[in-house]
Structure formats: structure tokens, C-alpha cells
Amino acid sequence: MERIAMAQPSWDDEMRAAAMDTLDSLHWVKGPQGKAFGEEFASYCGAVQGTPCQSGSVALWGALRLLEIGPGDEVLVPSLTYIATATCVSLVGATPVFVDVEPEYWCVDVKALERARTPRTKAVIGVHLFGQMSDDAIVSWCAEHGIAYIEDAAQAHGAQTPSGQMAGGVGDVACFSFFPSKNLAVGGEGGMMMTRRNDLAHRMAALVNHGRDARLESHELGSNLRMSEVAAAIGRVQLKRLEAWLAQRQSVAARYEGAFAGLNGITTPKVRAQTRHAWHQYCLLADDPEKLQQTLSSANIDSRIYYATPCHRQQVYADHPQHDATFAVTDEVCHRLVAIPVHHHLSDDDVERVIQAVVRACSS
């Protein structure tokens, strides 16, 4: 029986042709594909500009540089997230201040932001965790206090707010990852910075190109953070597929919800009212995560716990004043969120196999 993977990169003849055509053009860097990909993805997200770059982590670093955040500044980040959300803050010399997440949706809690705010707070990084949009209230909270809002949308390609805004068009800057496991990929590593602010847009492209202008004069610190033309060409084709892929992920998630509702020992993920969840991950909150994972593995199905060690407790932050801090929700769920396959390559039989394995785990 073939193993059902947590993720599977998408690759087809049109993507292959786009890559080969770009290679054959011999225009491998700083060309039309990257510019077009940025414009097309920005239009999709409702932003004024998108700038492709090397990874989602680079995009987060770039967002902080654009907002001129550095030593002496504090940035509020959820501890229940991938480590890059926090380390990007440290890399620019600022201090990550860790906060708790919402008990139902697992995104950053606005009440926790208010408790953590100080005169040194310069930004919030709101993670659209697993594809779930963060609370819209963050936008008005940040505006009220003169604090920048950075969207960590690495897992949220295609997610939507109740008002219809897309992930990437909500914050001052948004950051996407195109890692092969993501809803949209580029044939390797890749990311994108996005902004809805015209005053940041003119600097964004320069930042990934050594801070240089059209005359090749550097006006601010940057580096070579550019995405290759081949990757951008692949991303443009994948963007055309994204809506159909999202529909497939939503269909799988709906089947899971119908099959798992009421089962003992697990809680299905809740979706914020009137939002569109992008379903990068479908995470069950399990009373016995080890048993659930063992049952899935015995059925030849991959699963993964997100995120067993919260950011503030990772070794890189052993000297951080919050290293031993307690966050009620994060501590309660971090070792119990078991992700099961939800990607758009799953067949009906694959989905049924996953369902039956979860039901067995909850019935035995």
C-alpha cells in the first residue's frame, strides 16, 4: 500500500515548459518573469506591489528592514509558529516578545498583544497559522497604537478575511513562502514580500538587489535576495492553478469535518466566521497524539505535530527572558496538534484511508 505523504509538490507540462523556455532564453536573473510574478501575485492579493525573493524567511527579514526596525525595538510574535517568525526579529537586532494565541483558532491573541505592548513595541507579526487568517482586529489595534502590522502569510496563500480581503493585502507588509510543501511553490526555495503601502513599494525591489536604484547606486543596506527567473516562471503557472487547488483542499477538509465531528479524543479545527481557510495544514487537537500518530503510521499515512516546541522554549532563545515563561493556550496545544494530509493531490481513496485510520484511533 502506497504511503500517503503530508505534502506533494505540483509539477506538470506547463510548468516544465515555462522553466525550459526561461532557461533557453538565457535570461536567468533580474528579468521579466520575476517582475510579472510579483505583479500578478500582488494583484491576486489586492496589494500594490509584490517582490519575489529567495524564501519566506528572507521576506520576513526584508519586511523588518523596510519598516526600519532594529536594535532597541520590540516586535510581538506568537510563540506557536515556525521559528523563522521569531529569528527574523533577532537577525535585525530587535527583540522578539512572545505572546499567546487564541484558544479556538490558534492565531495571535489581540488581548495578549495589548498585555505585551510597551513604548518600544514597533511591530506585530501576525501568523495566519495553518492557513487561518489572523483576527481582523489586529489591523485597528495596530493603527490605534502606531504599530506596524506584518502578515506572516507563509501558510496562507489564498486565505480571505470576512470582508473579502486576501492574505497579503491586509498588513503593512506581508510575507509568503513558496517552499515545496506550500499551497503554491516555485520548484525549490522561494518567497515574496508584499505591501499595500505605496511609500514602501518603491524600496521593496531595491532591498532584494543590494539596496540599489536604476543607476546601480546603493541607497540603503540590502543584499542579493533575488528569486531566479526559472522559479518565478514556475510560480506564475502555479498561481493560475491556486484557486482550483484551494477548492480541492477545502473539499478534503469538509470531508474530514463531517467524518470526525463528535469523535472521542480529538477536536477538529475551527474556522473563523466568514473567512476562507487556505488549509495548508489540517490539524486535529488530540488527547493522545502519540496513539493517533501510531495508528496513522501503521496505515501507511504520514502525520506531524505542529509545533511541539514553542519558539520561546527553543535552544536559540535559552538566554531570552521569556524562555521559561508560561503561555496557557500555547502550552496546552503545542504537543497535541497532529496534522494529517490535506493537500490537493489526495484521491478520494486516500481521503477515505485517512478518515478510517483516524476513526480507528478514536475507537480503540
Q: Are residues 154 and 19 in the same domain?
A: yes
Give the model confidence (pLDDT) of 98-151 as tens digits.
999 999 999 999 999 999 999 999 999 999 999 999 999 999 999 999 999 999
Asked if residues 67 and 150 have their Cβ atoms less than 8 Å apart, the reply is: yes
- Number of domains forming the structure of the chain: 2
- Write out the H or E segment, with its range, that includes residue 285: strand 282-286
Q: What is the CATH number of the domain that holds 351?
A: 3.90.1150.10
Q: What is the pLDDT of residue 163?
A: 84
Q: What is the pLDDT of residue 218?
A: 67
Domain boundary residue among 202, 219, 237? 237
Q: What is the pLDDT of residue 202?
A: 84
Q: What is the pLDDT of residue 212?
A: 66
Residue type (1 letter), 340: I
Strand 121-127 and strand 95-99: pairing?
unpaired
Residue 77 cell numbers, joined: 510574535
Cα-to-chain-centroid distance, residue 317: 22
Domain boundary residue among 171, 205, 237? 237
Asked if residues 292 and 286 have their Cβ atoms less than 8 Å apart, the reply is: yes
Residue 6 belongs to some domain of the structure: no
Q: Are residues 46 and 148 in the same domain?
A: yes
Query: How many Å apart are CA 315 and CA 104, to the nearest integer?
Result: 28
Residues in the chain predicted with pLDDT less than 70, given as ranges, are 211-216, 218
Q: Are residues 226 and 251 in the same domain?
A: no
Residue 174 cell numbers, joined: 506581508
Residue 2 belongs to some domain of the structure: no
Asked if residues 19 and 233 have their Cβ atoms less than 8 Å apart, the reply is: yes
Q: Which of 184, 237, 179 is CA-nearest to residue 18?
A: 237
Residue 7 belongs to some domain of the structure: no
Q: Are residues 63 and 206 in the same domain?
A: yes
Asked if residues 134 and 156 have their Cβ atoms less than 8 Å apart, the reply is: no
Give the model confidence (pLDDT) of 214-232 as tens digits.
666 767 777 788 999 999 9
Strand 304-305 and strand 121-127: pairing?
unpaired
CB within 8 Å of 304: residues ≥ 6 apart? 6, 338, 339
Q: Which of 138, 137, 118 is CA-nearest to residue 126?
A: 138
Q: Are residues 270 and 209 in the same domain?
A: no
Asked if residues 310 and 85 have their Cβ atoms less than 8 Å apart, the reply is: no
Q: Are residues 165 and 254 in the same domain?
A: no
Residue 119 cell numbers, joined: 513604548
Query: How many Å apart are CA 251 and CA 246, to the nearest integer?
Result: 9
Q: What is the pLDDT of residue 215?
A: 66
Domain boundary residue among 208, 237, 266? 237
Query: How many Å apart are CA 111 and CA 7, to the nearest integer?
Result: 34
CB within 8 Å of 226: residues ≥ 6 apart? 29, 30, 34, 52, 53, 54, 208, 209
Residue 28 belongs to some domain of the structure: yes
Q: Are residues 281 and 332 in the same domain?
A: yes
Query: How many Å apart are CA 362 and CA 277, to the nearest integer?
Result: 25
Q: What is the CATH number of the domain that holds 162?
A: 3.40.640.10
Q: How large is the C-alpha radius of gyration of the chain?
A: 20
Residue 143 belongs to some domain of the structure: yes
Q: Which domain holds residue 317?
A: 243-363
Q: Are residues 179 and 210 in the same domain?
A: yes
Q: Are residues 259 and 199 in the same domain?
A: no
φ, ψ for residue 241, nearest 5 deg: -90, -15
Residue 3 belongs to some domain of the structure: no
Q: Are residues 219 and 254 in the same domain?
A: no
Q: Are residues 171 and 268 in the same domain?
A: no
Q: Are residues 167 and 257 in the same domain?
A: no
Residue 130 belongs to some domain of the structure: yes
Residue 185 belongs to some domain of the structure: yes
Query: How many Å apart are CA 284 and CA 208, to the nearest integer?
Result: 38
